[in-house]
Amino acid sequence: MTINILFRGPQERNDCWQALFADALPDVAWHHWPKITDKAAIELMIVWKLPRDYQQDYPNLKAIFSVGAGVDQLDLATVPEHIQVIRMLDPGIAKGMSEFIAMHVLNIHRDTFAYINANKSATWQQIPTIENQQRRVGIFGLGHLGQVAAESLLQLGFSVNGWSRSAKKISNVNCFHSDDRLHTFLSQSDILVCLLPLTDQTRGILNHETLSQLPKGASVINVGRGEQLVAQDLLALLDEQHLEYAVLDVFDIEPLPEAHSFWQHPRVLVTPHIAAITQNDSAGKMLVENVQRYLDQQPMRGIVDRSLGY
């Protein structure tokens, strides 16, 4: 049975994924947006953002695959319930994310940012170090990516705390959940890493009330979504010296406007949403596997729970 898939994204990724599908699932008819004549034939769509009017234009759509791990950009509230939404569980994203987090936890732990600032005034000053196990890293979000990041931090010898919506048991990770444990989690996190999905519950979660519960001198790494962070609250806590550093990869407006104070702040590092990039080859294989499951009428991997929004 032929199945029609529409991909919306760059040519290079299209060519890679089209070839993988042609090899593994020759019955798939692959289309690269916007070159599509019979829109009614499209059953599966692979996108970062949905095309305008997709509901009218693609009346037989059964599932939407996000090319990224996040799905907030799809505006789930507007997607009809009968269309499944699938997030990307790419091992390449997990590897990139755990590398980015380990790199910046180490940068903060070993005072790289302070030395970069000291270089500017040719200041030779050694900063005392502490043992890795004395540094407590708190991961906000112990999902697919949070757990891989926790593993790499444990291998580096850090103490790892984690926070999730539901209860978890993860070897060597101090797992917290439920609002009455939030203060304990935050007060024991010297470096807070945000890896939460953007939902109504997590929008603005990095605010004055939560960030001020981190120990004095704590740092923040935000790789979740920009709308989870209240920028003015973070800046105030940095300027009051309650917080030391912030590494920010995601912003409510991207690209981050040139005039934004984050760019010039001596204790903020801005990166342009590159913590973890979908890797064409590994992600393409995941898509092939999931489409095979769809064809076999098996549950696909990464189905979004519409009631939770992630």
273 a catalytic residue: yes
- With CB under 6 A as the contact rule, the residue among 9, 18, 36, 70 that binds ligand OXD is 70
- The answer to the question of residue 93 lying near ligand OXD (CB under 6 A) is yes
* String marking each residue 106-145 x if it binds ligand NDP according to CB under 6 A: -----------------------------------xxxxx
3-state secondary structure of 39: helix
Q: Which residue has the tokens 């994204």?
A: 9
Residue 69 interacts with ligand OXD (CB under 6 A)? yes
**In whole angstroms, how large is the CA radius of gyration of the chain?**
21
The reply to whether 225 belongs to the active site is yes
Among 9-17, 56-64, 112-120, 161-169, the segment contacting ligand NDP (CB under 6 A):
161-169
Among 3, 8, 64, 68, binds ligand OXD (CB under 6 A): 68
- Is residue 178 near ligand NDP by the rule CB under 6 A? no
Question: What is the C-alpha to C-alpha distance for residues 197 and 69, in angstroms, rounded to an integer?
Answer: 9
Minimum gap (Å) between residue 16 Cβ and ligand NDP: 19
State the burial class of residue 87 (Cβ atoms within 10 Å of its Cβ: 0-12, 13-18, 19+): buried
Helix locations, the chain, DSSP H: 11-24, 54-57, 91-109, 112-120, 144-155, 182-187, 208-211, 231-239, 261-264, 280-295
Q: Which is nearer to ligand NDP, 199 or 212 (CB)?
A: 199
Identified binder of ligand NDP from the candidate list 138, 197, 226, 284, rule CB under 6 A: 197
User: Which of 14, 105, 249, 287: binder of ligand NDP (CB under 6 A)?
Assistant: 249
Phi and psi at residue 295, in whole multiples of 5°? -65, -35
Tell the residue number behind the tokens 């030395």, with chain if given.
115
Among ligand OXD, ligand NDP, none, residue 196 binds (CB under 5-8 Å by kind): ligand NDP
Shortest Cβ 148–ligand OXD spacing (Å)? 13
Residue 302 φ then ψ, to 5°: 90, 20
Quote the tokens at residue 210: 């939560």
As a 3-state breakdown, the chain gives helix, strand, coil percent values, each rounded to 5, of: 35, 20, 45
CB of 101 to ligand NDP, least distance (A): 10
- Cβ atoms 160, 173 nearer than 8 A: yes
**Catalytic-role residue among 273, 293, 301, 306:** 273
> What minimum distance in Å lies between the beta carbon of 69 and ligand NDP?
4
Distance CA 225, CA 65 (A): 19
Q: Which residues bind ligand NDP (CB under 6 A)?
A: 68-70, 93, 97, 141-146, 163-166, 195-199, 201-202, 223-225, 249-250, 273, 275-276, 310
Active site residues: 225, 273
**Sites of contact with ligand OXD (CB under 6 A):** 68-70, 93, 278
